[in-house]
Structure 1
């Protein structure tokens, strides 16, 4: 390819130089991303069940039953239905809840065993197993749950970024859904992580060569618990990434087995995040594979330099 440079001269980029640049780009991609759903994955129940619904005197089971019925009757999106119904119920109960209230409710959210220690344990594992310098491990949440409540949880600061549904608060009216993350909508945020476009004000539809994407799907592991995670798991697996399905310890693993048999996930395990658990061991196996791939890319890069 002939490229014209600033002084008007022409520069010829030889094919081998282009190949070297591709290897160099691949070698530089040493960020690993662990991406989690929230409800049912990190926490046993929907986050609204722990404080919001009890505060307004609503039985969680009845609330979700009513929300789903409205969505079916009106042909509405289930997430918009629940976000609307939440504040209708609050208004009827004479309870005004703003953003700060929702954040404060996050402290009541229950987490699965070992979740709080998980981040240090996994970070430490990657550090010990890394044979190359510059390996970075990031944790993300991509959830249909509420950003505001997640911000109030004990683990919020452990995430590099949180992509979740969110309200637009107004001083006089009921809050309006600002962002709604549906089952299929979750996949957009996987591509944002992949492309390094985490600013939601920027579009992601413009083509980006694989060589320019900072976090390859091969460096990503998605954690989810059921049907709502199928699109994300499918995108991960189709693009060379990894997925793990989890289920509540001691309860049915049927859905996880279905996902595994359908090829939607690499592994499944109870949602026990403690060191030594099946989930911990299987996550480490996938991390070993990712780290090995990075080492291969490093060796290819070194060899390409020797041939220059």
Structure 2
């Protein structure tokens, strides 16, 4: 019998970022630093697709437009001197929803401190998959709890010594978020160069099977990932900003459509619906891992010989 690649004893919490972990968008500190009107910036971004098409573009990656506009602001001197180091520094200014980042630690220790789970080597990892800035997430208060981040990245001008950002290094949009989840599933991030996201791997050979994944996000843009995770046996949970009717209606509709299994306010403090549901989901997954491992052990070892009575 061949040895499995992975023990599959990891529970993965995969989080969206904007409006899931923080009330707004992570670019807010950037606009504040340079005294830029946030509404004006996003209005300009929303007009870019029409401008691209007027210039002959038949296919437009709309999610990439805001990154191009950031670079346009850099070239125009509006975001003068904007560097990756500054993007990371701005992450320190982000304010998280109630209960964070403590809840990240609580979920991890919930698994680590349970004797039954620790006997089977079960652990929990947190990941963020976002269309925002990787560097800003890396500079935020949750950074130390993250096993991996997928987001958008800039690089400096390769033809000069300036640390000012000049090019787009990586783009993650609402659809390619699913690629990131498959990379977590297969272990590509932990074994770069050895495992490809396109590798043909049986589910039993993947580092974190989908049944061990919980995906938490806020809205319609996350439907592709919700669908992949839920269809593949994982758990999906939606959050909304308490007191915001529009956000409540959005996530309520996603549950009605069967996209999410449950939803609640983006309040991660003990005793809240969200804290309890996600904690219980982690416990259930961990217990399922224990059950499957003990069943496999019994199958491989077999029952001990015993005397037979007449």
TM-score by length of 2: 0.86
User: Is the Cα–Cα contact under 8 Å of residues 27 and 298 in structure 1 kept in the other structure?
Assistant: no
Aligned pair in 2 of structure 1 residues 300, 94: CA closer, same or farther (>3 Å)?
closer
Aligned pair in 2 of structure 1 residues 68, 152: CA closer, same or farther (>3 Å)?
same
Q: Distance in 2 between matches of 1:194 and 1:208?
A: 10
Deviations 1:32-57 (A, max 9, x none): 000011111111111111x2112222
2:174 paired with 1:183? yes
Q: Distance in 1 between matches of 2:290 and 2:105?
A: 23
The one of 256, 260, 263 aligned to 1:265: 260
2:46 paired with 1:68? yes
**Aligned counterpart, 1:111:** 96
User: Is the Cα–Cα contact under 8 Å of residues 83 and 165 in structure 2 kept in the other structure?
Assistant: no
Aligned pair in 2 of structure 1 residues 277, 43: CA closer, same or farther (>3 Å)?
same
Deviations 1:13-65 (A, max 9, x none): xxxxx5xx6xx85993110000011111111111111x211222221122112
Q: Distance in 1 between matches of 2:146 and 2:112?
A: 18
Stretches of 4+ aligned residues off by more than 4 angstroms: 24-27, 199-202
Runs of 5+ unmatched residues, structure 1: 1-17
2:68 paired with 1:84? yes
**Aligned counterpart, 1:222:** 215
**Aligned counterpart, 1:274:** 269
Aligned pair in 2 of structure 1 residues 249, 207: CA closer, same or farther (>3 Å)?
same
Q: Distance in 1 between matches of 2:84 and 2:147?
A: 21
2:19 paired with 1:30? no
DSSP-derived class of the 1:276 partner: coil
Q: Cα distance, 1:302 vs. partner?
A: 2.1
Q: Distance in 1 between matches of 2:300 and 2:79?
A: 69
**Aligned counterpart, 1:126:** 111
How many pairs does the alignment contain? 286
The one of 151, 155, 159 aligned to 2:138: 151
**Aligned counterpart, 2:297:** 302
**Aligned counterpart, 1:285:** 280
Q: Distance in 1 between matches of 2:169 and 2:192?
A: 12
**Aligned counterpart, 1:193:** 184
2:59 paired with 1:59? no
DSSP-derived class of the 1:215 partner: coil
TM-score by length of 1: 0.86
The one of 115, 120, 137 aligned to 2:124: 137
**Aligned counterpart, 1:6:** none
Q: Distance in 2 between matches of 1:187 and 1:284?
A: 24
Q: Distance in 2 between matches of 1:204 and 1:26?
A: 15
Q: Distance in 2 between matches of 1:120 and 1:213?
A: 25
Q: Distance in 1 between matches of 2:50 and 2:7?
A: 48
